[in-house]
Amino acid sequence: MKSINSMRLKLLLVVFVILLFWQSSKLWSLYGVQPEEVRELIEKHSVNQQILVNVYYEALCPDSRNFILKQLVPTFNSIEDYIELQLIPYGKAKTRIIENDFEFECQHGPVECEANIYHACTVNKISDSRKQLKLIACMIKDNTHPSQDFVSCGSTLPEYESIKSCAQSTEGRRLLSKFGQVTDELEPKVSFIPTITFDNEKNNESNLIPALKNLKHEICKRLKDKPRECRR
């Protein structure tokens, strides 16, 4: 009787070991040889470094439009987890304080001032960088009719009414004046729009041309642990 029980016990142990080995093999196959998408997902979740990218631009500037559409948008779509984006619409405008309000003189005329205000309100009211950049990119394609462009690009957004109210009031002008202060504080002073800085480094013109031509490369070379997107 004891020998029978002993054999049963040994048999159960063998079955248990086999099951344990089988389950371990499944786990190793899952975590050791993973599909490309799973590896990339895990890699993104391990992000511990972001580069602060400040973009100083103006709404009717052709160079600003080209940079945002051809460099910033595709770069952000590729490595957004590694970018902390700050858009600063103002450019080479000038601000005049009149009592408790503000007037602006913009490089490309009054229409640009109005468009800059819509951009300033967008940056202020939308906290999600992806949504923010999507609306900015849509408007900057053709900002010659700022209020109409905003309606066609942003009417379905939950922030639509707050952005509209902001842009059509002193709130928007106050926001644009603050972006003007930030722009004026750059050292050295802005000489070309758009200007791009990384991690609040000193505005260095020697870094500007490379950033305008290949923004992704300039961000990637500053990352210590480079994601696979930087190697493509």
Residue-wise pLDDT for 74-85, tens only, equals 999 999 999 999
Higher pLDDT, 39 or 195: 195
Burial of residue 230, with CB atoms counted within 10 A of its CB: 0-12 exposed, 13-18 middle, 19 or more buried: middle
| Beta bridge mates, 169 | none
Burial of residue 18, with CB atoms counted within 10 A of its CB: 0-12 exposed, 13-18 middle, 19 or more buried: exposed
**What is the H or E stretch that residue 163 is in?**
helix 160-167
Tens digit of pLDDT for each residue in 124-176? 999 999 999 999 999 999 999 999 999 999 999 999 999 999 999 999 999 99
What pLDDT was estimated at residue 60? 98
Flag whether pLDDT at 18 surpasses 60: no
Q: List phi, psi (to 5°) of 155.
A: -65, -20
The structural domains of the chain, with segments of one domain joined by +, span 2-33, 50-231
What pLDDT was estimated at residue 79? 97
Q: How far apart are CA 209 and CA 214, in angstroms?
A: 9
What pLDDT was estimated at residue 134? 98
What pLDDT was estimated at residue 176? 98
What pLDDT was estimated at residue 2? 44
User: Which pair of tokens denotes residue 162?
Assistant: 């707050």
Average pLDDT over residues 20-37: 45
Higher pLDDT, 55 or 27: 55
Q: List phi, psi (to 5°) of 86.
A: -130, 110
Provide, rounded to the nearest whole percent, the portion of the chain with pLDDT above 90. Answer: 70
Average pLDDT over residues 93-115: 96
The superfamily CATH assigns to domain 50-231 is Glutaredoxin (3.40.30.10)
Q: Could you tell me if residue 43 is left (phi over 0), alpha (psi between -120 and 50 degrees) or otherwise beta?
A: alpha
Tens digit of pLDDT for each residue in 40-76? 444 444 456 899 999 999 999 999 999 999 999 999 9
- Mention every residue, 6+ apart, whose C-beta is less than 8 A from residue 84: 50, 51, 52, 53, 129
Alpha carbon 61 to its chain centroid, in Å, reads 20
What pLDDT was estimated at residue 208? 85
What pLDDT was estimated at residue 38? 39
Tens digit of pLDDT for each residue in 202-229? 766 777 889 999 999 999 999 998 999 9
Q: How far apart are CA 186 and CA 139, in angstroms?
A: 26
User: Which pair of tokens denotes residue 146?
Assistant: 């700022």
What pLDDT was estimated at residue 124? 98
What pLDDT was estimated at residue 6? 52
Our CA angle for 136, 176, 71, nearest 5°, is 30
What pLDDT was estimated at residue 93? 98
**Half-sphere CA count of 172, side-chain side, radius 13 A:** 19
- Mention every residue, 6+ apart, whose C-beta is less than 8 A from residue 74: 216
Higher pLDDT, 17 or 225: 225
What pLDDT was estimated at residue 48? 62
